[in-house]
Amino acid sequence: MSDFRNELMVDEHSIEEKTGNSQTKSRSKKTAFLLLKIGITFFLFYFIATKIQLTEIRAEFNEINWTAFAVGLALTIPNILIQHYKWRYLVHILKKDISHSDIFGSLMCGFSIGLVTPGRLGELGKGLFLTSVRRSEITGMSIIDKAFSQLALSVFGLIGMLLMIEFQFQHGTEIKLLITVFGILLITVLAMTVFFPERVRDLIRSSKKLFHYAPFREKIFSLISASENFKKNHFVPSFIYALTFQLIIYVQFYWFINAFAPMPFGEGLIGASSVMFAKSLLPVALMDLGVREGASIYFLGKLGVSASAAFNASIMIFLSNVLLPGVVGLFYLVHFNFFKRHEPRV
């Protein structure tokens, strides 16, 4: 018996040692990835700085259209509110008695932790601030929330890209065909999700073993847990919220562009949707800084907007929709006192 206990203690010590080594490696990878993102961000801004003079940026701000600027800044409020309603709708699918203030607080906390992640993926952790529901289910709902935003962004972005290619670029039919096929595949996946949600859930569930050793397996399992509660009748409201959110972003972008350079409304929406779609495909920089600005200079430049005006409009989108909510969210992080509260539920 004593030999068995000794062997058991050795095994437990070995498991703890392996777990510790795994956690150390994980932290090292995250640190290396963060440093890489910072390096890419600095490189992108250095590259942009070679294209734009600081005096040009100052000149744009000296001649700013304050009415257009104020309208763009004011649209930050409905932008945050529609994200709150979209998130509240998904949370109430799991548990209806969660208060609006708690849901709004979790959203704001998500803005803060999303500041340091590419593509604002850190916002997927906003569900962890709602401790009255199972962690796996609420994280899954965060993933569904993010997926709807990405889906709406892709729909508008593909339309914008096709219009840009048709009227502003000299590409052949191959590029147009490639984007059209991609759009058809996206619509097909959308239709499958709407009309056959059970098939989609069964496909994810049957693939569970395939993702068992994947680094993102916890997110896959969370999505499976949430999909049990997300039904077909939940799709349309969620998608409408996501479409409205993206449309507000594009209108806001248009007003920020007009604060620095006059531009027709239709062209502004086409340019904004193309910029945001391109940015979403390249989540490689810290807070997407540099990628958003580079895409803005490129696509808006095709529509006759100066590089400095495109850069300033992009920076204002970042300040109003990413940095400002993230800073306000720091208050909620302290208010929630999350790391000293209850142990998170699994």
pLDDT of residue 344: 43
Nearest one of 114, 144, 137 to 126, comparing CA atoms: 114
269: tokens are 């929406």
For residues 142 and 212, the model is more confident at 142
CA distance 289 to 96: 37
DSSP code per residue over 65-88: -HHHHHHHHHTHHHHHHHHHHHHH
Query: pLDDT for 57-72, tens place per residue?
Result: 666 677 889 999 999 9
For residues 251 and 181, the model is more confident at 251
CA distance 172 to 175: 6
Mean pLDDT of 112-120: 69
Residue 306 has pLDDT above 70, yes or no: yes
Query: pLDDT for 29-63, tens place per residue?
Result: 556 655 666 666 666 666 666 667 666 666 667 78
How is the chain split into domains, by residue range? 51-340
pLDDT of residue 336: 66
Residue 341 has pLDDT above 90, yes or no: no
Query: pLDDT for 230-282, tens place per residue?
Result: 877 888 899 999 999 999 999 999 999 999 989 999 999 999 999 998 888 77
